[in-house]
Chains A and B, each alone.
Chain A
Amino acid sequence: MSTQVAAYRTQYDAFAANGGGAAPAWLRDVRRGAIARFEQLGFPTPKNEDWHFTNAAPIAEQAFRPLYGATAGAVTADQLAPYRFAESWPTVVFVNGRYRADLSTLVGSGGVRVLDLARAWREMPALLETHLTRIAPYDAQAFTALNTAFAQEGAAVVFAMDHSAEQPVHLLFVSDDGAADGVAHVRNLIVAERGASGSVVESYVGLGSARHLTNAVTELSVGDGATLRHVKVQRENARAFHVHTVQAVQGRDSHFQSFSFASGAALSRTNIATLLGGAGGGATLNGLYMVDGEQHVDHQTRIEHLAPNCFSREVYKGILAGASHGVFNGKVYVHHEAQKTDGKQTNANLLLSERARVDTKPQLEIFADDVKCTHGATVGRLDEMALFYLRTRGIAGALAQRLLTHAFAADVLDTIEVAEVRDGLEALSRARFAGG
C-alpha cells in the first residue's frame, strides 16, 4: 500500500472516530466497506485500461488533507455572482467542500426539494437510504470508493412525482486558496420521481490558484416517465485536480439529458454513465471540453442499454490549444435484452496547435441482434477554406480563430436546454482562445 493510500486510511479512522458527521448507521457501514475497497484498489495506474491515457500519478503522489473538518472559506456573495447563471434559482453553495448556508437558497418542501446532505439526512432519511451510495458502484472505481468512504458533504435534490419544476436547481461548488492541498469528497443525490421533470446545474468553480483535489460523485435516479436534465460546468483553477463520477439509473420511458462542460483544472477526469433499465427510455449525453496550456481533460462515458426500445445520443466536442491533452472514451453497451436499440455517438476534436493532442476511443459493444447503432470520431484542424474566406473579408489571426472555434462549439452548446447556462457557456466559449 502506498503511503498516500495509508494516509487516507488514517484520515478515515479519524473521520469515523468523530462520528463522521450526522450519518446514519447504514452509511457508516457503507463507508467502512468503501475505505477497505479503496485500500485494495489503490489509485489507478496506466495499466488500468480506463486510465490508459490519463496518468493519475499527480493525484496519487500527494495525500490531500481532508476539508470536511475545516471551516468554510470566506467567499462572498459578490464573488459568486458571476457564476450563478440566475439569482432566483434554488442554489446550494459549498465553499472548499463545506456547505455555506448563508450563500444558499434551499427548498424544504413541495414539488422540488433542495437540501444540503446534513439536513437531508434528517428530513428524508428513507429516500437517502434507498438511493445514496446505491447507484454509483465503487467495486472497481478507486476514486468512487474513496469518495464513498468520506461521503458527508453534498446536496440532495428531489423532483416529486409528476411535478414539472419551473426553475433549474444549481449546486455550486467553489474553491479558493483555503482549499490548498485539500480534498473535497463531494457527494450529491438527484432524484426525479415517476413522471417528474427537472433540471440541475452542477458547477465547480475555482476562485484561487492553489492546488487542490475535487473528488465528486453525483448519483441520479430518473424514474419511470421522468425527464432529468443535468448540466455539469467545470471551471476549476488551472492547478486544480478534478475527478467526478456522474452515475444515473433510468426507469421506463425516462429521459436523461446530460451535458458536461470542462474548461478548467490542470487534470480533470469526468465519468458519466447511465443504465437504461426500462423499455422506451432515452439518454442524451453531450459535452464540450476546451483547454489550453498544459491542461489535461478526460471524459469517460458509458451508456448501458439493458432494456428494449431505448435510444441514446451522444455528441462530445473538444477544442485543444497549446500543449493540452484531451481524452474521450465513450462506451455503448447493448445488452442481449435491448432489442430495437437506437444509438448514435460522435466525438469531434479541433486541434489549435501542433503540440495539442487527443486520444479518442468510441466503443460499441452489441449483444442484441436487432439494433441500429453508429459511432465515429474525428480530429481536425481549423478549416483552411473557411480561414481564407474570412481573411478575404478582413478577418484574420486571433479573431478568425476565435470565430471558427466558437462555430465548432456552437451546435453542441445549442443542445443545452437551460437557456441561461447555454448563453453563459456560449459567451465563455466565445471569449476563450481570444489570444490564439
Chain B
Amino acid sequence: MLIIKDLAANAGDRVILRGITLTVRPGEVHAIMGPNGSGKSTLAQVLAGHPAYTVTAGSITYDGKDLLAMAPEERAQAGLFLAFQYPVEIPGVTNAYFLRAALNELRKARGQAELDPMEFLDLMERKLPMLDMDPAMMQRSVNAGFSGGEKKRNEILQMAVLEPRLAILDETDSGLDIDALRVVAQGVNALRRPDNATIVVTHYQRLLNYIVPDFVHVLSNGRIVKSGGKELALELEAKGYDWLEAPATGAAAGARA
C-alpha cells in the first residue's frame, strides 16, 4: 500500500531525512519512534505533502501511484490522513461546517453523493460517542480554544468520519492524560480494518500499550536505525534511545522533528 524508498528531505537548507525505506501493507500498524529531532514528524508531514519540506531523493509509492506527484488534497482524496501533532485553529469556521465540507470533497472525488446537513448530523450522532465527545463541540470553531486533549480527539473524530485507508498519527499521544489516551486509542482501534493501515509516530511507548503495532521502527538523525516487532517499543522504554543513535552527518545537527 505504501512503499517509501531511500527518502531524503530538507526543510530549507537543513537536511532532515537521510534515506528512509519502509513498506506498509494493508492491515498493518507501524510505529515510528525516535528521540526529538530524529525526523519522525517530518516524515509524517512529507507523507501529507507539507510545502515546507523538499524531497531531495527517493520515492513514495501509494497504491501504485507516485505520492510525491500528488497535491495534499489529492492525497486526502486518495485516502491518506494525517492526524496533526499541532492541529490548526480556524476561528470562524464551525467544526460541523468544516468536517462536512471535508467529507463531501472526499465523497465527490470518489464519485459518491454529497451528504446534506441532516444526513451529516445522523453520521455525527454515530461517530461522536466513539470519541466521547459532546455534540456541542461541532458548533465550536475548528480547534479554536480547544484544550490539547480536545484537539487530539477532534483529529481522531475527523479520521473516524473520513475513514482513511492510510492514517498517520503524529504524536497524537502528546499532551493527553491517561483517560484521553485510552479514548483516542479505542477510537483508532475501532477504525482498524484489514484493508487499511496506520502509522503511529510517537516518542513514548505509552500509546503502544493501547494501539498495538505490528512493527516498530526507530528513527535517528533521519534514518531508520532499527526495526522490530512490538517488543522493540518495550526495550526502548527500558533502555532509552541513546544506544541506537546514529551519528549526524553533514550539517544536520540540531534538526528537529
Q: How far is the CA of A141 from the CA of B92 in the complex (A)?
A: 38
Residues of A within 8 A of B48 (CB): 392
CB of A403 closer than 8 Å to a CB of B: yes
Asked if A406 CB lies within 8 Å of chain B CBs, one says yes
Given known pairs A396-B71, A403-B98, A403-B101, the reply for A391 and B76 (CB within 8 Å) is yes
Determine the distance from Cα of A408 to Cα of B90 in the docked complex, in whole angstroms. 9
* Cross-chain contact B73 with A408 (CB below 8 angstroms): no
A407 to B98, CA, bound (A): 11
Chain B residues whose C-beta falls within 8 Å of the C-beta of A407 in the assembled complex: 90-93, 141
Picked from A389, A397, A403, the residue with its CB within 8 Å of the CB of B87 is: A389
Given contacts A399-B101, A399-B105, A404-B90, contact A391 B73 (CB under 8 A): yes
Inter-subunit contact B72/A406 (CB<8 Å): no
A390 to B82, CA, bound (A): 11
- Residue contact A395 to B93, C-beta cutoff 8 Å: no
* Residues in A383-424 with C-beta less than 8 Å from chain B: 383-386, 388-397, 399, 403-404, 406-411
Q: Is the CB of B91 within 8 A of A392?
A: no
Question: Which residues of chain A have C-beta atoms less than 8 A from B105's C-beta?
Answer: 393-396, 399
Contact of A389 among B81, B90, B109, B141 (CB under 8 A): B90
Chain B residue with Cβ nearest A411:
B92
Contacting residues of chain B (41-72) with chain A, CB-CB under 8 angstroms = 48-51, 71-72
Of A396, A399, A403, A411, the contact of B72 (CB 8 Å cutoff): A396
- Structural contact, B106 and A394, CB atoms closer than 8 A: yes
Q: Flag if B91 contacts A411 (CB, 8 Å).
A: yes
B251 within 8 A of A: no
Tell me the minimal C-beta distance from B223 to chain A in angstroms.
Answer: 26
Residue of B nearest to A403 (CB): B93
Interface of A is mostly: helix
Q: Is B162 an interface residue (CB 8 A)?
A: yes
Query: Cβ of B82 and Cβ of A392 under 8 Å apart?
Result: yes
Question: CB of B221 within 8 A of chain A?
Answer: no
Chain B CB count within 10 A is highest, among A384, A395, A397, for A395
Question: Interface residues of B, CB < 8 Å — how many?
Answer: 29
Q: Is B220 an interface residue (CB 8 A)?
A: no
Residues of A within 8 A of B87 (CB): 389
Does B102 interact with chain A (Cβ within 8 Å)? yes
**Chain A residue nearest in CB terms to B168:** A392
Instruction: Report the minimal beta-carbon distance from A168 to chain B, rounded to whole angstroms.
Output: 25
Query: Does B196 touch A at the CB level, under 8 Å?
Result: no
Tell yes or no: B172 within 8 A of A by CB: no
Contacting pair A410 B92 (CB below 8 A) = yes
A109 and B84 alpha carbons, distance in the complex (Å): 62
Residue of A nearest to B89 (CB): A386
B158 contacts A by Cβ under 8 Å: yes
Closest residue of chain B to A384, judged by CB?
Answer: B51
Contact with A along B91-107 (1 / 0, CB 8 A): 11100011001100110
Q: How far is the CA of A142 from the CA of B102 in the complex (A)?
A: 52
Tell me which residues across on chain B come within 8 A of A409, comparing CB atoms.
92
User: Which residue from chain A places its CB closest to the CB of B162 in the assembled complex?
Assistant: A393
* C-alpha spacing A19/B49, complex, angstroms: 73
In the bound complex, what is the Cα–Cα distance between A90 and B50 (angstroms)?
54
A149: min CB distance to chain B, Å: 44
Which of A389, A395, A399 interacts with B88 by CB under 8 Å?
A: A389
Closest Cβ of chain B: how far from A184's Cβ, in Å?
36
Whole-angstrom CA separation of A386 from B50 in the bound complex: 12
Q: Considering the complex, which residues of chain A in the window 45-102 have a beta carbon less than 8 Å from any beta carbon of chain B?
A: none
Proximity bits, B153-190, A CB within 8 Å = 1, else 0: 00000100010000000000000000000000000000
In the bound complex, do residue B49 and residue A406 qualify as a contact, i.e. CB atoms below 8 Å apart?
no
B10 close to A (CB within 8 Å)? no
Is A392 in contact with B98, judged by CB distance below 8 angstroms? no
- Are B51 and A388 within 8 A (Cβ)? yes
Q: Which residues of B contact A388 (CB under 8 A)?
A: 50-51, 72, 88
Can you report 25 A-B residue pairs in the complex whose CB atoms are below 8 A from each other? A385-B88, A386-B90, A388-B51, A388-B88, A390-B90, A390-B98, A390-B102, A391-B49, A391-B71, A392-B75, A393-B76, A393-B162, A394-B77, A394-B102, A394-B106, A396-B105, A403-B93, A403-B98, A404-B90, A404-B93, A406-B92, A407-B90, A407-B92, A407-B93, A410-B93
In the A-B complex, list the 8 residue pairs whose CB atoms are closest, starting with the nearest.
A407-B92, A410-B92, A396-B73, A391-B72, A393-B102, A394-B105, A389-B88, A394-B76
